[in-house]
Amino acid sequence: MIEGILTIDHADEAAGVPRALGYLVPRQNAKIRARLHPTAIAGVWAWQTAFALLAAYPSAALVGAAYGNDPRGDAPLGASGALALLDFLRTNVHGVGAAAAGTALVTIAAVLAGLLPLAALMTTMAHATHGGHRIGASRAIGGAVGSGRALAGLLVSVGGAEALAVGAAVVLGGVAESSAHAWLGEAHAQMLAVAIGAVALVPACAIGVVHDLARAAVVRLQLGTLAAWIAGYRSFRAAPIDLAWSWGWRALASLAPVGVVALLADRLSWRGGWALLALALLHQAVVLIRVALRSSWLAKALRTVDLS
């Protein structure tokens, strides 16, 4: 079954026509909705949580070695004033460094491996069985594996493009500051630099949007890296305002729960027991909401490339 799914026909790449994926058929455009795939969304959340746990574990183990036998648990590290926390960092400076290195490795692995659940989610949203039913996890993963090379190519190329965009923003800001310094003064020149830098970051956001559209093209249209970039760019050019709004409101909305829960977390403090459980549930709800909003945007991207 998996072999069948991996058989991808690239004959009509440029036509922008949704392609069948072995046993799977393209889902009707209007039915590409994230809300129809809660299990897939939960799967992405679980994947991210698993990697985050892995990334957090070295540091948590270090704290556990120091405070595991404290009858208060690790609560002193969260006490107001942070004396115990700073003292812990002082006495464990090498351990913290080692834990940070471990975490960095896990993070890099997570970024690369994150392509798989992302592609599986998009495959799930974009395709159905011949009977019109939702595809199962194994088929979604199979489809994701098939898209892996193209998605990796997009990831590498977008990394370079984003680096160029951010670098240009920094350079433009720096040039603006140094040239305006003499007549505007230090603070106002820096404000100008920040403003120019912020404006220059708009292309970076646009590249991110096109990248997501290109991913959608890979999954929906079975395109290779270059063709997907072209398809993504054409889609963006066709409706830039609509796409910017669709991406922008979801990006902003995904910040809101972080802020709200941060305020609640401040009230719950570093208490243990039920308070800790409640906080953990709140935090995971935030993560889940953000995954859902991201999925919603990706569904929009899938619908967009199809129409283009």
Residues 27-56 that bind other proteins (CB under 8 A): 48-49, 51-53, 55-56
Q: What's phi and psi for 261, nearest 5 deg?
A: -70, -30
Does residue 204 interact with other proteins by CB under 8 A?
no
Does residue 157 interact with other proteins by CB under 8 A?
no
Give the position of tokens 């985050």. 52
The smaller minimum CB distance to other proteins, of residues 138 and 178, is found at 178
Does residue 262 interact with other proteins by CB under 8 A?
yes
Out of 33, 134, 234, 283, name the contact with other proteins by CB under 8 A. Answer: 283
Element (H, E) at 297: helix 273-307
List the structure tokens of 206: 């646009």
Instruction: Specify the stretch interacting with other proteins by CB under 8 A; choose among 8-16, 229-237, 241-249, 265-273.
Output: 265-273
What is the smallest separation between the CB atom of 161 and other proteins, expressed in angstroms?
A: 14
What is the smallest separation between the CB atom of 68 and other proteins, expressed in angstroms?
A: 4
Kindly write down the DSSP assignment for every residue of 100-158, as one continuous string. HHHHHHHHHHHHHHTHHHHHHHHHHHHEEETTSPPPPHHHHHHHHHHHHHHHHHHHHHH
**Residue 24's beta-bridge partner residues?**
21, 129
What is the smallest separation between the CB atom of 7 and other proteins, expressed in angstroms?
A: 25
The smaller minimum CB distance to other proteins, of residues 6 and 191, is found at 191
> Are the C-beta atoms of 140 and 124 separated by less than 8 Å?
yes
The smaller minimum CB distance to other proteins, of residues 35 and 188, is found at 188
**Mask 58-97, x = binds other proteins (CB under 8 A)?**
-xxx-xxxxxxxxxxxxxxxxxxxxxx-xxxxxx------
Give the position of tokens 């009858």. 71
Does residue 291 interact with other proteins by CB under 8 A?
yes
Does residue 129 interact with other proteins by CB under 8 A?
no
What is the smallest separation between the CB atom of 132 and other proteins, expressed in angstroms?
A: 29
Does residue 23 interact with other proteins by CB under 8 A?
no
Count of CA atoms in the C-beta half-sphere (13 A) of 194: 6
Does residue 297 interact with other proteins by CB under 8 A?
no
What is the smallest separation between the CB atom of 216 and other proteins, expressed in angstroms?
A: 12
Rounded distance between C-alpha atoms, residue 98 and residue 104, angstroms: 10
What is the smallest separation between the CB atom of 235 and other proteins, expressed in angstroms?
A: 18
- Count of residues touching other proteins (by CB under 8 A): 72
Rounded distance between C-alpha atoms, residue 216 and residue 154, angstroms: 11
**Mask 170-189, x = binds other proteins (CB under 8 A)?**
--------------xxxxx-
Site for other proteins in 104-123 (CB under 8 A): 107, 110-111, 114-115, 118
List of residues 6+ apart from 131 with CB closer than 8 A = none
Q: Rg for the chain (alpha carbons), in Å?
A: 23
List of residues 6+ apart from 269 with CB closer than 8 A = 78, 275
> Are the C-beta atoms of 58 and 99 separated by less than 8 Å?
yes
Strand, helix or coil for residue 25: strand
Does residue 191 interact with other proteins by CB under 8 A?
yes
Does residue 98 interact with other proteins by CB under 8 A?
no
